[in-house]
Structure 1
Amino acid sequence: MPRFLHTADWQMGRTFSRFEAEDGAALVEARFKAIETLAGLARERQCDAVLVAGDVFDAQGVSDRTIRRVFNATQGFDGPWVLLPGNHDAALVESVWTRAQRLKSVPDNVLLALTPGVITLDEQGLAVLCAPLTQRHTYSDLTAAFDRYETPGHLVRVGLAHGGVEGLLSEDIDATNPIAADRAKASRLDYLALGDWHGTRQIDERTWYSGTPEPERFRNNDAGNALVVEIDHPGSQPHVEAVATSQFQWHQWREALSVNSDLERLIERLQALPATSVLDLRLSGEITLDGDERLNHALSVAEARIRSIQCERSSLQLSPTQEDIATLQADGYLGNVITRLRDLQEGEQGEAARDALAILATVLKDPRGESAS
């Protein structure tokens, strides 16, 4: 009964420049930790092999240090690893893979599927049919060659490929590399292990995307898993178990605020986030000055507790109430200024007006420039 781990889209060498330096560094390190987690999972589940369906590296030009660290991270599992080039790390004549070989950083148990064909793992009961990408984009189905590959009848027949299943995935998938929707059946595969879609997704009973083991995008596509696959014997239906592997959880919230209860619910959600969260928050609607102060406090507390928060609030208008203005003691001229800034938020100067209103409210609440207690 062969049991193997299916993973893909490690994207090693990816940078996170949109984040603060400290957060970006933590997200980079999490990707190396993910490989160690995969090795530990393969060992604990007594897997016969680890199959990586492309995009091990995010680009051809990653550093030598990154290359060495990737292969060092596999040491926790001494069974065979089969690594397939994807669209980000295609098996070019000169590539990240040829550099890794020159660096002599590839362990003996790590097999690089740099050319199309079959890797036979007789001891593990597996025949791995490989369709590596030799250029970033192809316009023919490289897995069509699987139809012609003959494998020993006693071995489980597993396809390993990187690309988009035709007609089933959205147009924003990374690569143009097409894969026939019926490939597993047409090529007599017991299982087809795919990469390129960064979330875990079942295509049919024998075809799966594992997704990336550590999320790196704000998409609700069930990323952060690896698949443990068991197949009793050639021809039997695979048993597939998705196992969570991620260190960080990425969340994308779009919140429209209009009444006080909206703000209360948002603050409660912020408080409930685990420390391993990466949050992209975009706010719209209206908020009072008092509500804005409470929101700022909640965001400040959350920023110190979770991994990262990025908050976009240019579409959130400050709408001071009469109580806000009375609290600020902004009668007469200042009251008129506040009203004018509130109205300007509707036009081309909206963002500048909102910032000015927030600054004015802060100054009026604490004219000495000291933080409010």
Structure 2
Amino acid sequence: MRLLHTSDWHLGRSFHREGMLTHQAAWVDHLLEVVEAERVDVVLVSGDVYDRALPQVDAVRLADETLARLAASRARVVLTSGNHDSAQRLGFGSRLADAAGVHLRTRASEVGTPILLEDEHGTVAVHGLPYLDPEATRVEWSLATRSHEAALGEALRRVRADLASRPGARSVVLAHAFVAGSGDDVRPSDSERDISVGGVSIVPTSHFAGLDYVALGHLHGRHVLDERVRYSGSPLAYSFSEAGHTKGSWLVDLGAPREGGAPLSAELVASPVPRRLARLRGSLEELLTDPRHADAEDAWVQAVLTDVDRPVGAMERLRRRFPHALVLSFEHTAPAVGGLPARPAAGRSDLDVVEEFVSAMRGSAPTAEERALLSQAVDACCEDPDADPAPAGAGVGAP
């Protein structure tokens, strides 16, 4: 059986205020092309179909078109909800969708009930686990503790109880969680929402031992935790921290059942890249003139300027060369406040103290115009020596 594992579509998301819906629609076209060209039997979508629980109308329209096209394709679909989705909204009409071969699994009450598929080697039991909120799951399942590990542990207990009743069936599990083993170098991206409970979010990879294939969602980077336990990552980049990612989906071939697990092979099908990401650092003059940055001129750009003095109109000037520059920041080169030289303030004016602070933090003295502004600020903050003294006993609210 041939599986296509994808996740974290985040339909409706923007990239630093740049709309992504057109790029997401182009990726859906790519997805359908892969299904037909690679003769995919099952498309697995491991959560975060939408970017928000109440998605915009255009995102809902694109999701509807996508699922309709997949229903008309050669593939079956198993889709679960993620932590960005509203389980109720995404799961609406799931019983009707089942009849079309699109299986939406968004409710904890359905955990342990698989979608049963057949190929020439027999049965494949696909268990779609939605994102399991630790508190809601603790209440619904009467768990002793509130944690991601407890929720997934109980879900997998139910999965294994079902599989025990199906000897010879191969197992595929979809889960949306932060999963890692002790030796895994798994790092979240800036575009992922924190799901930690009490500072803990990681579920050990060992929880999935013995399953034929585990299709994970939530992390936006592609990770292979084990030959059989993988993250597909998001199909498009959603933050500059993903600049080095190769986005795509896993094309997985699941062979005949055998002791120790069905034979499995997986290869990455790379996604089309709508626009490259570039992270640049240097002085404004360097970025505007250095020929090494020529390949970033058509990219979405995040720039960090190292100029000692902040250039005037930096973003406007940057966009003359990099019209798709989106993020601009300035490298902080000032000393920490605790590291400033301690000079006694006695005998010096307030303005002298403030000027020294500005000079130390910025690395240069205030200009004449800045000094005049600082003088006004100091005068406004200082006690007025000409003010009439308050009458004895006067306080807040006194006439």
Specify if TM > 0.5: yes
Q: What's the counterpart of residue 327 of structure 2? A: 310
Distance in 2 between residues matched to 1:107 and 1:266, nearest whole Å: 60
Verify the 8 A CA contact 1:50 1:80 in the aligned structure 2.
Answer: yes
Question: What amino acid is aligned across from residue 205 of structure 2 in structure 1?
Answer: A
> What do residues 57-92 of structure 1 show as CA deviations (whole Å, max 9, x unaligned)?
12221134422321212444411111111111153x
The TM-score with structure 1 as length reference comes to: 0.69
Pair 1:129–1:250, CA change in 2 (3 A): same
Distance in 2 between residues matched to 1:35 and 1:242, nearest whole Å: 17
> What do residues 148-172 of structure 1 show as CA deviations (whole Å, max 9, x unaligned)?
2216455431111010115544577
Question: Of residues 120, 128, 145 in structure 2, which corresponds to 1:130?
Answer: 128
* 1:37 maps onto 2:30 in alignment: yes
Q: What's the counterpart of residue 321 of structure 2? A: 301
* 1:182 maps onto 2:180 in alignment: no
Distance in 1 between residues matched to 2:118 and 2:99, nearest whole Å: 19
Q: What's the counterpart of residue 212 of structure 1? A: 234
Question: Of residues 178, 183, 202 in structure 2, which corresponds to 1:164?
Answer: 178
Q: Mind listing any 5+ residue stretches in structure 2 that lack a counterpart?
A: 138-146, 335-357, 371-399
Pair 1:316–1:144, CA change in 2 (3 A): same
Q: Alignment partner of 1:300: what SS? A: helix
Question: Post-superposition shift, 1:282?
Answer: 1.3
The TM-score with structure 2 as length reference comes to: 0.65
Question: Post-superposition shift, 1:119?
Answer: 1.0
Distance in 1 between residues matched to 2:116 and 2:158, nearest whole Å: 16
Distance in 2 between residues matched to 1:11 and 1:113, nearest whole Å: 17
Question: What amino acid is aligned across from residue 128 of structure 1 in structure 2?
Answer: V
Q: What's the counterpart of residue 379 of structure 2? A: none
Q: What's the counterpart of residue 267 of structure 2? A: 241
Q: What's the counterpart of residue 121 of structure 1? A: 117
Q: Alignment partner of 1:241: what SS? A: strand
Question: Post-superposition shift, 1:96?
Answer: 1.7
Q: Alignment partner of 1:219: what SS? A: helix
Question: Post-superposition shift, 1:202?
Answer: 0.4
> What do residues 184-237 of structure 1 show as CA deviations (whole Å, max 9, x unaligned)?
32xx21111100111100001110000000111122462521111112222234
Pair 1:86–1:297, CA change in 2 (3 A): closer
Q: Alignment partner of 1:149: what SS? A: helix
Aligned counterparts, 1:1-373, within 5 A: 2-16=1-15, 18-19=16-17, 24-25=18-19, 27-77=20-70, 78=73, 79-91=75-87, 95-99=88-92, 108-114=100-106, 115-116=110-111, 117-123=113-119, 126-135=124-133, 139=147, 140=150, 141=152, 142-150=155-163, 152-166=166-180, 167=182, 168=184, 169-170=186-187, 174-176=194-196, 178-185=202-209, 188-220=210-242, 222=245, 224-234=247-257, 235-249=261-275, 251=277, 253=279, 255-257=281-283, 263=286, 267-273=290-296, 275=298, 277-286=299-308, 299-303=319-323, 307-313=324-330, 347=361
Verify the 8 A CA contact 2:280 2:301 in the aligned structure 1.
Answer: no
Question: Post-superposition shift, 1:12?
Answer: 1.5
Q: Alignment partner of 2:25: what SS? A: helix
Pair 1:58–1:110, CA change in 2 (3 A): same
Question: Post-superposition shift, 1:4?
Answer: 0.8
Distance in 2 between residues matched to 1:182 and 1:106, nearest whole Å: 31
Distance in 2 between residues matched to 1:65 and 1:54, nearest whole Å: 19
Q: Equivalent pairs: percent with the same residue? A: 21
Structure number with bigger Rg: 2
Distance in 2 between residues matched to 1:255 and 1:123, nearest whole Å: 53
Q: How many residues align structurally?
A: 309
Verify the 8 A CA contact 1:32 1:69 in the aligned structure 2.
Answer: yes
Question: Post-superposition shift, 1:126?
Answer: 2.8
